[in-house]
Amino acid sequence: MSAHLLVVDSDTAVQDLIGFNLTRAGHLVARCGDAESAWLVLDDAMPDLLLLEWDLPAQSGVSLIRRIRANARTRELPLIMVSARAGEHDKIMALEAGADDYITKPFSPREMLARIQALLRRRAPLAAADTVQMAGLRLDPSTHRVTAGTRQIALGRVEFRLLNFLMHHPERVHSRSQLLDQVWGDHVFLDERTVDTHVGRLRSALQASGHQDHIETVRGSGYRFVAWSARARLGLRAAA
């Protein structure tokens, strides 16, 4: 499961170590060295998961956790404390402040990745990881690739997640609010028209391979992925 992760640590060597292992595992990683910089990143774009150190300059990691949990937009953000503080009291304080997990330095990169994956599986709105093939499209979540025959279709992160969800639930109509919860996450507060914008982008990307009509608008209800587009059904009727 590929994800956008934010690493907050004042030690650039630790940033590099964590970033290297996360990137090698297929994740996209942003980095910063203090709480205020982290808050600016969160204000601009919500990551899928946050890893942060306790001992940050100016404001501690625990204080940042409390700030995150007190904010309606960020309170459900999956969060792991990564700290050299190994005492039971420290771990309890971080967990009571709102951390979902606690990793003690020095740590095993394999353990860190396993804990991240476990938390993402529990908290991610969309966890479908199986390759799906339908209507001439092949979507592989593990490589983040969509192909139509030999043609590779370039999709943005949100458009990929949207198509992933729709193809794993074909023929079902999903309202805009349901799509917001399942694709963006129920901890993200966005206008429902955001869904329309990204559906439009998805259709534009699929147009080159002729698959744009497989994303159907159901008036007054929402959207669905259909194995046979309306145009294809009309063609079959005409041939009959």
What is the model's pTM? Answer: 0.54
- On the question of a cis peptide bond just before residue 106, with omega within 30 degrees of 0, the verdict is yes
Mean pLDDT of the chain: 84
Nearest alpha carbon to residue 211 among 198, 202, 221:
202
Superfamily of domain 4-123: Response regulator (3.40.50.2300)
Statement: residue 83 has pLDDT above 60: yes
Q: How far is CA 210 from CA 199, 224, 234, 237, in A?
A: 15, 17, 15, 19
pLDDT of residue 50: 92
Q: How far is CA 79 from CA 40, 98, 120, 123, 233, in A?
A: 16, 8, 10, 10, 47
What does the pLDDT average to over 116-142? 77
pLDDT of residue 236: 41
Residues above pLDDT 70, as percent of the chain: 88
Confidence of residue 133 (pLDDT cuts 50, 70, 90): very high
Q: How far apart are CA 46 and CA 68, in angstroms?
A: 11
Lowest mean pLDDT among 26-35, 125-134, 172-181: 125-134
pLDDT of residue 186: 52
The answer to whether 131 and 141 have CB atoms below 8 angstroms apart is: yes
The encoded tokens of residue 10 equal: 């004042």
Q: How far apart are CA 71 and CA 12, in angstroms?
A: 28
Domain ranges of the chain: 4-123, 132-239
Confidence of residue 128 (pLDDT cuts 50, 70, 90): low
pLDDT, tens digit, 9 for 90 and up, residues 40-78: 888 777 788 899 999 888 888 899 999 998 887 788 788
What does the pLDDT average to over 173-198? 79
Q: How far apart are CA 50 and CA 39, in angstroms?
A: 11
Q: What is the CA radius of gyration of the chain?
A: 21
Q: Write out the CATH class of domain 132-239.
A: mainly alpha
